[in-house]
Amino acid sequence: MSAEASRRAPDMSLSELVRLYRLQAGDFGRPAALCSFALSHAEIERLFSSYDEDYHISRFFHFSEGEGEKFIINGIPATHVSIEREIEEIL
C-alpha cells in the first residue's frame, strides 16, 4: 500500500462506524456530533473524508455545520453527520 493510500485508508470498518453513529444519534437520519466518535481530530477528518470520497458510501452521509467542534471533511467544514438507513443495504 502506498503512503498516500495508507493515509486515506479508513481505520474503522463501515459497519463499525455505522454502529457507533447509531449509538450517538439514536437512529438513522439524526445528526451526531463528529467529536462524539472518540477519535482524534485528525482521525475523524481522515476517516470521514475517506468514506466521503467513495460515491457508493458518501451518498448516505450528510454533513452539517452547527454548534460544536469543527472538522474539515474533504475541504468542507462540518460539525455533525447524519447517515441514511439505506446504508444498511451495503453493509
Cα separation, 34 vs 36, in Å, equals 5
Cα separation, 88 vs 36, in Å, equals 21
Confidence of residue 9 (pLDDT cuts 50, 70, 90): low
- Name the pTM for this structure: 0.87
Predicted confidence (pLDDT) per residue in 25-58, tens digit = 999 999 999 999 989 999 999 999 999 999 999 9
So what's the pLDDT on residue 2?
36
So what's the pLDDT on residue 5?
41
Indicate the domain borders of the chain.
Answer: 3-90
